[in-house]
């Protein structure tokens, strides 16, 4: 009898463990491990995902990793992506849906040498400007269009566009009068190269009214029809936003958590702490819910991106509040 009872207890224990097994979620980042993604690493480190019954795996990105392709291939449940890339993928047949928007503001800007005489956007004509491509060029193209500046070459009303790699060399080597930078990354690479901030002038896309939404959370539309998947995403978003707000309030500690998760050893404490301080400015003001006005501005900017826009028509069904409504209210 005692043996039978022990066996029954063991069976019940195993059943209970199975019943309470954490649900697995795989998150694909847009770029390498850095403070740009601190909220997710904080949520993992502080046990916020565990509290929601989730077993989260965070996959770093990199120059050879396309988050949209990882999502399409089933390599991740959810990915961090910029809205232009997500909307472009949707128009081409990959139905990505924004389920949350931790970043309220854009960090993209144009950084210029002040000694070139550039003091205002109207002074950009007849210059060489470094621009990121692969979808990142469309806010720039829209901005130039609004200024009445052609991107076909230098002239009184035109600029020469230099396809910029993911570095700041074109500015440092004076190959370009201005280059694309992020407030939390490349700008500081210029500073760390020995350039004084007094030697530079910056134009934030957010201030110019042509910013597009960055670092949203996206899933495949078909998966949202699965109640179990949607429930996982509700819990994932709730824990992630808890991580983001913790990171905003504890930027130094958040940066150290990021460093602990950097398996490459490439990041430095100084750079990550500075980056976290700048990232906190971009996530401030968002509880994770996408503002429809921000979405509409992004779409308008992309549609006005010149002769070869990233999208050719206004998308339908590209975002939902269903997840954030359930997670945050």
**Confidence at residue 305, expressed as pLDDT on a 0 to 100 scale:** 63
**Confidence at residue 308, expressed as pLDDT on a 0 to 100 scale:** 67
% pLDDT > 90, the chain: 81
Last residue in a domain, options 208, 239, 274: 208
- β-sheet with 178-182: strand ranges across: 160-163, 128-131, 178-182, 108-113, 200-204
CB 125 within 8 Å of CB 157 = yes
pLDDT of 15 over the 60 cut: no
Query: Is residue 284 situated within a structural domain?
Result: yes
Whether 225 and 98 share a structural domain: yes
Query: Is residue 19 situated within a structural domain?
Result: no
Q: How far is residue 244's CA from residue 217's CA, in Å, rounded to a whole number?
A: 13
Whether 256 and 125 share a structural domain: no
User: Which has the minimum average pLDDT: 11-15, 156-160, 168-172, 238-242?
Assistant: 11-15
pLDDT in tens, 315-329: 999 999 999 999 998
DSSP states along 230-285: HHHHHHHHHHHHHHHHHHHH-HHHHHHHHHHH-TT----HHHHHHHHHHHHHHHTT
Whether 286 and 315 share a structural domain: yes
% pLDDT > 70, the chain: 92
**Confidence at residue 98, expressed as pLDDT on a 0 to 100 scale:** 98
Q: How far is residue 44's CA from residue 30's CA, in Å, rounded to a whole number?
A: 18
Q: How far is residue 285's CA from residue 308's CA, in Å, rounded to a whole number?
A: 33
Count up the domains in the chain and report the number. Answer: 2
Whether 159 and 300 share a structural domain: no
pLDDT confidence tier of residue 18, bands split at 50, 70 and 90: very low
pLDDT of 262 over the 50 cut: yes
For residue 103, count other CB atoms closer than 10 A to its CB: 25
Q: How far is residue 51's CA from residue 39's CA, in Å, rounded to a whole number?
A: 15
The domain that holds 128 is classified in CATH as 3.40.190.10
- Measuring CA to CA, which residue among 310, 293, 282 is closest to residue 132? 310
pLDDT confidence tier of residue 112, bands split at 50, 70 and 90: very high
Query: Is residue 94 situated within a structural domain?
Result: yes
Last residue in a domain, options 150, 180, 208: 208
Q: What is the mean pLDDT of the chain?
A: 92
**Confidence at residue 20, expressed as pLDDT on a 0 to 100 scale:** 67
Give the structural domain span for 249. 24-104+213-328
């Amino acid at each position: 009898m005692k043996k039978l009872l022990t066996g029954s207890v063991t069976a019940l224990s195993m059943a209970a463990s199975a019943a309470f097994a954490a649900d697995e979620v795989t998150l694909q980042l847009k770029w390498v491990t850095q403070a740009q993604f601190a909220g997710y690493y904080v949520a993992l480190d502080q046990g916020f995902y565990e509290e929601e019954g989730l077993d989260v795996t965070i996959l770093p990105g990199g120059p050879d990793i396309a988050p949209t392709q990882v999502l399409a291939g089933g390599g991740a449940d959810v990915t961090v992506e910029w809205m232009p890339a997500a909307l472009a993928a949707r128009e081409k047949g990959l139905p990505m849906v924004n389920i949350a928007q931790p970043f309220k503001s854009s960090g993209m800007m144009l950084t210029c040498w002040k000694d070139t005489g550039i003091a205002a956007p109207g002074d950009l004509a007849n210059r060489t400007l470094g621009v990121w491509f692969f979808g990142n060029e469309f806010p720039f193209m829209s901005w130039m269009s609004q200024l009445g500046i052609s991107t076909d070459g230098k002239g009184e009303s035109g600029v020469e566009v230099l396809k910029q790699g993911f570095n700041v060399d074109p500015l440092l080597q004076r190959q370009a009068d201005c280059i694309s930078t992020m407030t939390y990354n490349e700008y500081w690479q210029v500073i760390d190269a020995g350039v004084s901030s007094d030697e530079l002038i910056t134009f934030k896309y957010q201030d110019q009214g042509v910013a597009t939404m960055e670092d949203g959370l996206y899933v495949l539309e078909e998966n949202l029809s699965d109640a179990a998947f949607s429930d996982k995403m509700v819990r994932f978003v709730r824990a992630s936003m808890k991580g983001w707000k913790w990171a905003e309030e504890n930027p130094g500690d958040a940066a150290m958590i990021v460093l602990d998760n950097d398996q490459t050893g490439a990041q430095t404490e100084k750079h990550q702490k500075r980056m976290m301080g700048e990232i906190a400015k971009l996530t401030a003001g968002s509880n994770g819910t996408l503002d429809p006005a921000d979405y509409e501005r992004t779409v308008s900017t992309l549609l006005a991106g010149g002769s070869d826009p990233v999208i050719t028509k206004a998308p339908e069904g590209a975002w939902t509040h269903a997840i954030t409504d359930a997670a945050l209210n």
